[in-house]
Every structure is written in structure tokens, then in C-alpha cells.
Structure 1
Amino acid sequence: MSNVAKVIELVGKSDKSWEDAAANAVKSAARTIHGISGVEVQNMTAKVKDGKIVVYKTTVKIAFEVAS
């Protein structure tokens, strides 16, 4: 286990929900980042068209271990 963690900020998108948008951000990060240890939801926004939400956006901070 590393004594150092790095934190990055990502925006996930979904046409289903904010939870799905956050999961998409983590899934995307996990493709290239190993040792993800946590996620913090920072913000939730949405794009609205004709009175309906069409895109959910979730800003997350993802922490992962830095190899020593």
C-alpha cells in the first residue's frame, strides 16, 4: 500500500441518472488508472431540452494510490 494518493477531477455523463454518470466516470478512469481507492461527488448538473433532462453530469474527484 502506498503512502501517497493522487486525486483527479472528472465529469461523467449519462442519459439515465446522476448515479450512472458518476459510475461512468469511475469506469472510464479505471481503464487506465489502477488502485482507485475512493470517489467524492463534487457537483451534479444536467442539460435540459424541452423541459426534460436529457443529459445528467456528475463531477467527481477520484483518488488512487501512487506507486512508490
Structure 2
Amino acid sequence: MSSIAKIIELSADSEKGFDDALHTGIIRANETLRNVRSVWVKDHEVLVEQGRPKVFRLHLKVTFLVE
């Protein structure tokens, strides 16, 4: 049997760091999507406030199988 995959883009933020942002993004994607198969980090950025890193943001591509 063949399968069809769909890819969506989302952003995940954390004030702790990129690892935490990735973990948050994966957990959140799994809460709203079924059959998540992969997550690709497309881009990353740091929002700065008063000269210090404030928010670590990842732009992700999430691949999941369509039922």
C-alpha cells in the first residue's frame, strides 16, 4: 500500500534555547497532528531585547502521513 505525506511549516519559540524550542515544536506538532514522521529545521533566529537574547525561534518543516 502506498502512502501520502504532507509537509507544513511552523515556528517554535523558547526563552531557554534552540534545543528547548525544537523539543517544544515537536511536542506541539504531535499534539495536533497524527503520524508525524520528521521535523526539519529550516531556519533559526534570536530575538534580542536590551542587548540580550530574549527568544530563540526555529522555523520548522513537519512531515506527517495523511490517513
- Normalising by structure 1, what TM-score? 0.89
Q: Distance in 2 between matches of 1:19 and 1:9?
A: 18
Identity of aligned residues (%): 31
Q: Which residue of 2 aligns with 1:26?
A: 26
CA shift digits 1:14-66 (9 cap, x unpaired): 00111211221111111121110000000000110121101000000000011
Offset, 1:2: 5.4
SS at match of 1:25: helix
* Superposition TM-score, scaled by structure 2 size: 0.91
Structure 2 residue identity aligned to 1:24: T
CA distance in 2, matches of 1:65, 1:21: 23
Over the aligned positions, Cα root-mean-square deviation in angstroms equals 1.3
| Alignment gaps of 5+ in structure 2 | none
Aligned twin of 1:17: 17
Structure 1 spans left out of the alignment, 5+ residues: none
Aligned residues: 67
